[in-house]
Amino acid sequence: MSTLGKLFRVMAARMPRVRGFGSSFYFGHPFLDAWFAWFPLNQIQYDGAAVGEIYNVASRIDERKGLSWIVEWSKEAERVSSYAETLRSAGHAFSAGNTFLRAYTYHRTAHLATDPINYPEELKSTYEGLTHCYSRFVELSDVQAEAIEIPLRPDGEGDAQHVRGWFFHAAKSTYETQKPTLLWLSGAESIAEDVYWWCGAEGIRRGFNILAADLPGDTATLIKNPNVMIEGAGDRGLLSVVDYALERPDVDSKLLYVYGISMGGYRAGRLAQIDHRTAGIIANAPMLDASAVLAAVKDVFKRPKEAHGWAYRMFWQYGVDPNQHLKTALEELVDGVWGRFVVDPSQISVPFLTMAGENELGHEGIRQAKAFHETSRSRAKALRITTAAEGAGAHCQLDNFPLARQIVFDWIESRMREGER
């Protein structure tokens, strides 16, 4: 490493850690290091990445240059994807499927650093690459999954709109058999394909259908359907995906559960307030007022350039004009758009599990999660705060996916057993 690179790491180490991570995984830059932990370290599970491949890429990245992240992960994605095509042509379907899954992860990791202002071409090319590789994985693996389109409830103007997603069938089940189903609500930086690691792969093995969709306000929705924007608190998208789930013949309507992570934690809490058709909801972590939890985002303009790119991506997703002064745009995003994302737990009656890492998005994040639990009127509520001592103190347990999944499914299975008695 050059002298300038070493100096950068020393300076970067003094920046606040993000997402509640207490220590560095590899990079000095906190944004890149958090992305590295989320993708691709967590993707090693279920053969979504390989240690040798990801550290080889990481060693080539110049963290002083944002484009370096995109270029190096994209190179690896193309290399692995090409190898997968060779395996497929040779008739090694299973091997090809697993290899495409790793290529997906590397495209996905590159995609995280793209934005429509600085890297508009890379934003679309990495998305096209990851969706292609994911579809190839589904096609060649033994996972029963289907790409879906979900119609949105009418918006009053008569325009038919839809969002896209994935439906995973419980292992060893027929398409006609009704099964308990888990609807996954993603975070602001997530896409429907991410569900595989959050709860998909484990859920289908436990006998659940898994449903995930990109809703209005999500990156993938805007790429695929530029005219579909989030409205108000986002209720239309939430109600539409529940409508879709309950209309499927392979979903047990009495056993539809919901699991939301990060901004999906807000969405899960909001859904619990406005809709009582589900058997239970898990929010990781719920928010009373998203703007208060995310108020620190308004300081991004003081951070390095890579953080500015993240902000531009949020502006684009949520319909904020990126051409105004950065500080003004951030205030509009946090106070204006996210300021509409509020929940009243006193109106919640469905069974509800509140989850959070003890360092959940700072003091306000963990305070709101606990206050949400205390004020909820759910007839069956529970609170689970994971800790650094468990290796799970970070935002949404990004440092311990296995523990998070275990908590989620064990709570659901306990609820189902109680219902049988």
Q: CATH code at 89? A: 1.20.1440.110
Q: Which of 335, 255, 336 is nearest to 295 (CA)?
A: 335
In a domain, 201, yes or no: yes
Q: Do 27 and 62 fall into the same domain?
A: yes
What local confidence, expressed as pLDDT, does residue 143 receive?
Answer: 95
Report the distance separating Cα 215 and Cα 22, nearest Å.
31
Last residue of one domain, picked from the residues 135, 168, 202: 135
Residue 7 confidence (pLDDT) above 70: no
We report the CATH number of the domain holding residue 204 as 3.40.50.1820
| pTM recorded for the entire structure | 0.93
Q: Domain boundary residue among 112, 135, 158?
A: 135
Last residue of a domain, one of 106, 135, 164: 135
Q: Is residue 309 part of a domain?
A: no
pLDDT tens, 286-312? 999 999 999 988 887 666 666 688 899
Q: Are residues 356 and 230 in the same domain?
A: yes
Domain count, the chain: 2
pLDDT at 33: 87
Strands, sheet with 251-261, edge to edge from the N-terminal-most edge strand:
145-151, 162-168, 209-213, 179-185, 251-261, 280-284, 352-357, 381-386
Domain membership flag for residue 306: no
Over the chain, what is the mean pLDDT?
92
DSSP 8-state assignment for residue 200 = I
For residues 352 and 412, membership in a common domain is answered with yes
pLDDT one-digit tens code per residue, 189-231: 999 999 999 999 999 999 999 999 999 999 999 999 999 999 9
Distance of CA 262 to CAs 26, 42, 317, Å?
23, 16, 16
Q: Do residues 202 and 227 both lie within one domain? A: yes
Domain-embedded: residue 323: no
Amino acid of residue 162:
H
Question: Is a pLDDT exceeding 90 seen at residue 254?
Answer: yes
CA distance 223 to 316: 10
| DSSP H or E stretch at residue 180 | strand 179-185
**36 and 155 assigned to the same domain:** no
Instruction: Render pLDDT for 56-104 as a digit per residue (tens, 0 to 9).
Output: 999 999 988 889 999 999 999 999 999 999 999 999 999 999 999 999 9
Same domain, 261 and 236: yes
Whether the link from the prior residue into 285 is cis, omega within 30° of 0, is yes
More confident residue, 49 or 11: 49
Looking at the structure, tell me whether residues 184 and 80 fall in a common domain. no
Could you tell me if residue 195 is inside a domain?
A: yes
Whether 326 is covered by a domain: the verdict is no
pLDDT in the model for residue 17: 52
Asked if 260 and 228 sit in the same domain, the reply is: yes
Residues 179-193 have a mean pLDDT of 96
- The verdict on residue 310 lying in a domain is no
Backbone angles phi, psi at 342, to 5 degrees: -125, 150
Instruction: Kindly state whether residue 317 falls inside one of the protein's structural domains.
Output: no
CB 132 within 8 A of CB 101: no
Residue 11 predicted with pLDDT over 50: no
Residue 71 belongs to domain spanning: 3-135
Residue 45 vs residue 310, higher pLDDT: 45
Model confidence at 180: pLDDT above 80: yes
**186-204 burial by CB neighbour count: b if 16+ within 10 A, else e?**
bbbbbbbbbbbbbbbbbbb
Residue 59 confidence (pLDDT)? 94
Same domain, 115 and 171: no
Q: Which residues contact 288 (CB under 8 A, 6 or more apart)?
A: 342, 343, 345, 368, 371, 372
CB atoms within 10 A of CB 318: 19
